[in-house]
Amino acid sequence: MLTNALQTVRRMTCTPMCALTPEDGSRAAGQDAQQVQSALLNILDDLTAQQSSNRNVHCAVLNILEDSEADKQNLQATQRAVLNILEDFDLEKSKVASINRELQTEAQERQRAQEEIQQLNLRLEQRVTERTAELVASNHELEAFSYSVSHDLRAPLRAIDGFSQALLEDCSEGLPDEGKNDLQRIRAASQKMDRLIDGILVLSRTTRVEMRIAPVSLTNIARDIASELQKANPQRQVEIVIQPDLSVIADSILLHAVMQNLLGNAWKFTSKHTHARIEVGKNESEQGVTFFVRDDGAGFDMAYAAKLFGAFQRLHTPAEFEGTGIGLATVQRIIRRHGGRIWAEGAVEAGATFYFTLPGNTR
């Protein structure tokens, strides 16, 4: 608009006057002066508008400058914060580096300790192997020794029993009653010792004999032994209940010895009761199968239960019940050789139950 007004002023001022008449000229000059005036007014208007817009621009520029100052301050603050963070980060970094160094040292120490443990373990294993071999050898020696001693003891023992019997039979007339009585006692003692030697031989055989593991019917073994016991003592009233489906994986000869002892004990320790009940069965649980032989006989005091399986350990006197105290020790050895466990529960005059497990007989 300012440019248009200026052009009009320029045009007005440059128009040649010579081309006009004097009246024309003064009319035209009046008109021109008006036009110039209005053009100048326009220019003034324009200038005023321009000025105010310039002021606006100025204000805007000032605002922008103010804003940029604020931004600058923000930026500086941000920069300081970033610098702080960087410093903190550096600190953390050095901390992490030192922790890392510590961890590395620890890892190295652990590695060293582990290697030492491995070495110790190796040495230990070696020593265990050597010791086991020594133990097996000395065990074999001991077994062989007890076997031959037992054998050698038997001959003189049988001689003592035999000659005592001969004396009693051949010279009974010349012997006083006291002498006869003494001879009877010599015979009884030597017979007991013979049974003990038998027990020791069986015990030592159970650890030496080679095992033949196969499926065996525990029911059949128990039935055979039960009928032998009943045949030997037909006068006794004993109800024997045997579960029909008892099968195990074991050495049948050794298992027979186990049942012979357990059922033999049940039979013996119920002998003072007019009626008795013996039960053979199994319990099944998540852990596996547990077999048992139960009776309602003399029982025993649980306080001494740990003694039951020791060789020559007896909880009853010979006057109450005869025996050598080797049966349960043999049973335990056999069960252990099979990798199983045996334990007992009982109460005086309330019977006894013997439990055992045999691996491979899990559910």
Ligand X SMILES: Nc1ncnc2c1ncn2[C@@H]1O[C@H](COP(=O)(O)OP(=O)(O)O)[C@@H](O)[C@H]1O
- Asked if residue 262 lies in contact with residue 293, where contact means CB atoms within 8 angstroms, the answer is yes
Decide: is 265 part of the binding site for ligand X (CB under 6 A): yes
Pairing between β-strand 237-242 and β-strand 275-285 as defined by DSSP bridges: parallel
Smallest gap from residue 346 Cβ to ligand X (A) = 6
Smallest gap from residue 246 Cβ to ligand X (A) = 19
Smallest gap from residue 287 Cβ to Mg ion (A) = 28
- Asked if residue 215 lies in contact with residue 325, where contact means CB atoms within 8 angstroms, the answer is no
Residue nearest to ligand X (CB): 323
Q: Which does 258 bind (CB under 5 to 8 A by kind): Mg ion, ligand X, none?
A: none
Q: Which is nearer to ligand X, 340 or 346 (CB)?
A: 346
Kindly report the backbone phi and psi dihedral angles of residue 92, in degrees, each rounded to the nearest multiple of 5, phi listed first: -60, -40
Q: How far is CA 114 from CA 110, 111, 352, in A?
A: 6, 5, 51
Q: How many residues does the chain have?
A: 363
Longest dimension (CA), the chain: 208
Q: Which does 297 bind (CB under 5 to 8 A by kind): ligand X, Mg ion, none?
A: ligand X
Decide: is 269 part of the binding site for ligand X (CB under 6 A): yes
Q: How far apart are CA 221 and CA 217, in angstroms?
A: 7
Smallest gap from residue 270 Cβ to ligand X (A) = 8
Q: Which is nearer to Mg ion, 206 or 265 (CB)?
A: 265
Decide: is 281 part of the binding site for ligand X (CB under 6 A): no
Which letter, b or e, does each residue of 80-100 get, where b requires 16 or more Cβ atoms within 10 Å of its Cβ? eeeeeeeeeeeeeeeeeeeee
- The footprint of ligand X on residues 166-185 (CB under 6 A) is none
User: Which one of 6-14, 106-114, 125-133, 258-266 is the stretch in contact with ligand X (CB under 6 A)?
Assistant: 258-266
- The footprint of ligand X on residues 297-336 (CB under 6 A) is 297-300, 308, 314-316, 323-329
Strand partners, 215: 249
CA dihedral 257, 333, 302, 260 (to 10 degrees): 0
Q: Which is nearer to ligand X, 267 or 282 (CB)?
A: 267
Residue 51-90 contact track with ligand X, rule CB under 6 A, x = bound: ----------------------------------------
Q: Which is nearer to Mg ion, 281 or 327 (CB)?
A: 327
Decide: is 225 part of the binding site for ligand X (CB under 6 A): no
User: Which one of 27-35, 122-130, 210-218, 291-299 is the stretch in contact with ligand X (CB under 6 A)?
Assistant: 291-299
Strand partners, 289: 284
Decide: is 206 part of the binding site for ligand X (CB under 6 A): no
Q: How far apart are CA 56 and CA 16, in angstroms?
A: 42
Give the tokens for residue 127.
Answer: 């020593």
Decide: is 251 part of the binding site for ligand X (CB under 6 A): no
Q: Which is nearer to ligand X, 229 or 329 (CB)?
A: 329
Smallest gap from residue 294 Cβ to ligand X (A) = 9
- Nearest CA to 252 among 134, 156, 338? 338
Which residues form the interface with Mg ion (CB under 5 A)? 265, 327
Q: Which is nearer to ligand X, 183 or 266 (CB)?
A: 266
Which helix (H) or strand (E) segment holds residue 66: the answer is: helix 22-170
- Asked if residue 300 lies in contact with residue 352, where contact means CB atoms within 8 angstroms, the answer is yes
Decide: is 240 part of the binding site for ligand X (CB under 6 A): no
- Asked if residue 190 lies in contact with residue 164, where contact means CB atoms within 8 angstroms, the answer is yes
Decide: is 277 part of the binding site for ligand X (CB under 6 A): no
Q: How far apart are CA 262 and CA 294, in angstroms?
A: 9
Binding site for ligand X (CB under 6 A): 261, 265-266, 269, 295, 297-300, 308, 314-316, 323-329, 346, 352
